[in-house]
């Protein structure tokens, strides 16, 4: 049975600036709400934007995270990151950085130096994935998932390609290790190309049209729209009316209370107060 579409949400009229490097349209929680789309807490879409050349890297300076994971998906442009656990790296087009903030981390994210100098198109998604209570105190760590390391599915009839970041697409696994079942598929369709797959009925499921115009289960979804599915049916068919890029996300809901305060996401208000105290007392380390 086709997965039923709940709503097709257009891009918000105005972006928000996150620091000075990320010009983002927010879709989650947006008008959806965090419980409805659990385990996903936030989705910011830095839609394609041309940054002018700059000797000073644009970005977001030191900020904390606790109790969840941040997933950065690079389509165009490059981001350099550093954290209080001593990790650093560069996320290039096709790469995904999956950071488990867990017990708490300090983080900064800037346009990579060479990209900054040249300027040019920049396109990214940042997705926050919640952790269940029993994993919220995990030691922070990263998975640096490279474009080459993704699960690859070449679609028949030159329809396009799917890069499986997390979960299972038609039997092909993605490299990301997740704490709860999550699918994250980077779907690229050629003009007229079609793809069909299934995700479990109980998964909260959505897709973002990064580029192109698509039909999904018979309904039209324009460029930069966000399609929220009902938890009915399993089958999804997408057709690209032009060369199209789609990000599909789905996951098993985490059936726990969500109490969030900016970059801290816990189960109770008391845990939020504790997180703020820990942060203020330097327990997230130094960056």
Binding site for Mn ion (CB under 5 A): 107
Omega prior to 29 cis, within 30 of 0: yes
How far is residue 125's CA from residue 226's CA, in Å, rounded to a whole number?
13
215 and 196 Cβ atoms separated by less than 8 Å: no
How far is residue 249's CA from residue 175's CA, in Å, rounded to a whole number?
15
Nearer to Mn ion, 42 or 199 (CB): 42
Nearer to Mn ion, 74 or 246 (CB): 74
CB of 101 to Mn ion, least distance (A): 8
Q: Residue number with the shortest CB distance to Mn ion?
A: 107
CB of 33 to Mn ion, least distance (A): 22
- Give me the DSSP letters along 21-78: TEEEEEEESTTT-TTTTTTEEEEEEEEEEEEPP-SSPPEEEEEEEBSEEEEEEEEES-
Residue 287 is given by DSSP the state -
Say which residue the tokens 């499921």 belong to.
205
Nearer to Mn ion, 97 or 244 (CB): 97
C-alpha distances out from residue 230 to 90, 114, 184, 234, 239, Å: 36, 43, 17, 10, 20
Nearer to Mn ion, 151 or 263 (CB): 263
CB of 50 to Mn ion, least distance (A): 23
56 and 43 Cβ atoms separated by less than 8 Å: no
How far is residue 184's CA from residue 167's CA, in Å, rounded to a whole number?
6
Q: 1 has which bridge partners?
A: none
- Which residues, at least 6 apart from 270, have a Cβ–Cβ distance to it below 8 Å? none
- The neighbour count for residue 82, using CB atoms within 10 Å, is 16
CB of 64 to Mn ion, least distance (A): 9
CB of 260 to Mn ion, least distance (A): 15
CB of 139 to Mn ion, least distance (A): 17
Nearer to Mn ion, 10 or 262 (CB): 262
How far is residue 182's CA from residue 165's CA, in Å, rounded to a whole number?
10
Nearer to Mn ion, 212 or 263 (CB): 263
73 and 208 Cβ atoms separated by less than 8 Å: no
Nearer to Mn ion, 3 or 107 (CB): 107
CB of 203 to Mn ion, least distance (A): 26
Nearer to Mn ion, 128 or 179 (CB): 128
Nearest to 211 by CA among 177, 248, 235, 243: 243
CB of 63 to Mn ion, least distance (A): 6
């Amino acid at each position: 049975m086709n997965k039923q579409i709940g709503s097709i949400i257009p891009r918000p009229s105005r972006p928000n600036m996150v620091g000075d490097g990320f010009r983002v349209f927010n879709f989650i929680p947006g008008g959806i709400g965090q419980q409805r789309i659990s385990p996903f807490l936030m989705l910011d879409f830095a839609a394609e934007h041309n940054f002018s050349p700059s000797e000073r890297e644009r970005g977001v300076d030191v900020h904390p995270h606790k109790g969840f994971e941040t997933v950065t998906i690079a389509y165009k442009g490059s981001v350099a990151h550093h954290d209080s656990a001593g990790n650093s790296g560069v996320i290039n087009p096709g790469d995904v950085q999956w950071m488990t903030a867990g017990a708490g981390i300090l983080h900064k994210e800037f346009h990579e130096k060479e990209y900054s100098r040249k300027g040019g198109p920049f396109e990214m998604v940042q997705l926050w994935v919640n952790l269940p209570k029993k994993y919220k105190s995990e030691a922070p760590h990263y998975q640096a998932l490279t474009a080459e390391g993704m699960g690859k599915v070449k679609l028949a009839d030159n329809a396009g390609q799917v890069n499986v970041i997390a979960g299972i697409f038609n039997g092909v696994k993605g490299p990301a290790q997740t704490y709860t079942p999550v699918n994250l598929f980077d779907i690229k369709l050629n003009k007229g190309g079609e793809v069909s797959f299934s995700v479990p009925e109980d998964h909260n499921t959505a897709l973002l049209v990064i580029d192109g115009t698509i039909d999904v289960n018979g309904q039209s979804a324009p460029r930069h729209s966000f399609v929220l599915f009902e938890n009915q049916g399993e089958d999804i068919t997408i057709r690209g009316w032009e060369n199209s890029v789609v990000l599909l996300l789905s996951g098993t809901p985490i059936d726990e209370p969500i109490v969030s305060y900016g970059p801290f996401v816990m189960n109770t208000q008391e845990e939020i107060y504790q997180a703020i105290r820990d942060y203020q007392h330097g327990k997230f380390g130094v960056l």
